């Protein structure tokens, strides 16, 4: 059965590549304006390159007296972000065929630039929903930053749990807003690329299938739509209540990961990370404390590094440097993680003693609260 599934998957990938090669490309021009006299502006992809045609990769332009321009070809509207030097990163925007303008204020980092084209004309009701949620999120993060300063980045656990509960509630509200957007405007490429970015970096949620189903067939049948459909299917196999799959990975001593070992523990945390991932490393101190406290009670952690082959030594050194006590395995070049559409790090899965997924992307403080209640 696995053999036939692999053959089918290879066939799908071939069809995707064939589709990308045969897609009709239309020229586009971006006339750019920026509050800087010199420098380099680059278009960067929202997610992995499989969603994009080959010719669009790595576009950059030189700024001359506050102006720059891009030219290229697109099969249909494409989502991007834009960077200027090392100080500015825009939020998502979509470009389409033909001539359009974009105005950048480098003092407003991580905001949507002013893009003048048809696809970026967001409906008023959608904008109101987005702005209302953005105001709540900004207030939450402002409160979070203030508390970090007051408590010197050691916020009491009960307060952090409350902050994370609000954050999760806002994430759920954002998903509901996107569902409403796709339902009301099924041909919106802006909503479409918002969803691609969301699904690429937040893991799979049940609502994602409902959102995807609201888009028109014309969007679903684009190359990006077909890749998205495949990734959603794969992500669904890693949903809550699903059995965690086998992984092809090896330890530092070359020992293969035995997935049946998950069944020996009351709870197992599968933690995907890599050696140069700041947020991954930031979690290690709390994970070490939890591991020492609960290992004897049936809690295990399995670290899975996605480091590229050339960074193998960095992975080995990180294990020693941060004194990681739990079993560590290497998914060389992130092949297994890519198969499972894991693109953001850290990503983790909490399994029960049957190897079933019961939580995803649980934060250290939430994990501590869970173990305190379930084991103690």
Task: For the chain, list residues with pLDDT below 70.
Answer: 1-23, 55, 376
Q: In sequence order, what DSSP letters do the residues of 270-290 get, joined into one string?
A: EEEE-TT-HHHHHHHHHHHHH
Counting beta carbons within 10 angstroms of the beta carbon of residue 299, is it exposed (0 to 12), middle (13 to 18) or buried (19 or more)? Answer: buried
Percent of the chain with pLDDT over 90: 78
Closest CA to 49 of 183, 223, 167, 192: 223
Q: How far apart are CA 261 and CA 11, in angstroms?
A: 33
Tell me the per-residue pLDDT of 265-277, one tens digit each, with 9 for 90 and over.
Answer: 999 999 999 999 9
Q: How far apart are CA 124 and CA 140, in angstroms?
A: 24
pLDDT score of 376? 67
pLDDT score of 11? 44
Three-state SS at 253:
coil
Residues of the chain with CATH 2.60.40: 21-116
Q: How far apart are CA 154 and CA 150, in angstroms?
A: 9
Fold (CATH) for 21-116? Immunoglobulin-like (2.60.40)
Q: How far apart are the first and last CA of the chain?
A: 42
Q: How far apart are CA 330 and CA 148, in angstroms?
A: 34
Residues of the chain with CATH 3.40.30.10: 259-374
The CA dihedral of 224, 230, 233, 239, to the nearest 10 degrees, is: -70
Q: How far apart are CA 105 and CA 82, in angstroms?
A: 12
pLDDT score of 29? 96
Class of domain 259-374: alpha beta
Q: How far apart are CA 87 and CA 79, in angstroms?
A: 21
Nearby residues of 194 by Cβ (< 8 Å), 6 or more positions away: 79, 92, 178, 181
pLDDT score of 264? 84
Q: How far apart are CA 99 and CA 119, in angstroms?
A: 13
The residue whose two tokens read 């990734």 is 231
């Amino acid at each position: 059965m696995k053999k036939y599934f692999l053959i089918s998957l290879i066939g799908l990938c071939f069809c995707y590549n064939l589709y990308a090669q045969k897609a009709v490309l239309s020229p586009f021009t971006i006339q750019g304006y920026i509050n800087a006299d010199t420098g380099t502006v680059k278009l960067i992809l929202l997610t992995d390159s499989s969603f994009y045609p080959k010719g669009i990769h790595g576009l950059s332009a030189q700024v001359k007296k506050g102006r720059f321009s891009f030219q290229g070809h697109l099969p249909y509207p494409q989502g991007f972000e834009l960077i200027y030097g090392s100080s500015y990163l825009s939020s998502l925007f979509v470009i389409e065929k033909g001539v359009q303008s974009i105005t950048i204020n480098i003092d407003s980092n991580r905001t949507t630039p002013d893009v003048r084209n048809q696809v970026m004309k967001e409906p008023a009701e959608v904008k109101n929903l987005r702005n209302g949620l953005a105001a709540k999120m900004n207030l939450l993060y402002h409160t979070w930053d203030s508390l970090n300063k007051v408590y010197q980045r050691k916020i009491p656990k009960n307060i952090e749990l409350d902050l994370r509960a609000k954050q999760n509630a806002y994430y759920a509200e954002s998903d509901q807003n996107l569902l409403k957007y796709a339902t009301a405007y099924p041909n919106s490429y802006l909503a479409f690329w918002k969803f691609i970015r969301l699904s690429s970096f937040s893991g799979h949620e049940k609502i994602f299938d409902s959102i995807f189903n609201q888009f028109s067939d014309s969007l679903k049948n684009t190359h990006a739509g077909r890749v998205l459909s495949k990734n959603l299917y794969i992500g669904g196999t890693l949903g809550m209540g699903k059995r965690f799959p086998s992984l092809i990975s090896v330890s530092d001593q070359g020992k293969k990961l035995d997935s049946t070992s998950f069944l020996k523990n009351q709870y197992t945390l599968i933690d995907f990370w890599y050696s140069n991932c700041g947020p991954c490393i930031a979690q290690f101190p709390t994970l070490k404390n939890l591991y020492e406290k609960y290992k004897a009670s049936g809690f295990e952690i399995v670290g899975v590094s996605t480091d590229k082959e050339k960074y193998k030594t960095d992975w080995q050194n990180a294990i020693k440097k941060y004194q990681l006590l739990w079993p560590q395995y290497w998914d060389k070049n992130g092949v297994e993680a890519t198969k499972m559409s894991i693109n953001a790090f850290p990503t983790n899965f909490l399994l029960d003693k049957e190897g079933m997924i019961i939580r995803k992307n649980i934060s250290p403080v939430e994990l501590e609260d869970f173990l305190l209640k379930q084991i103690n």
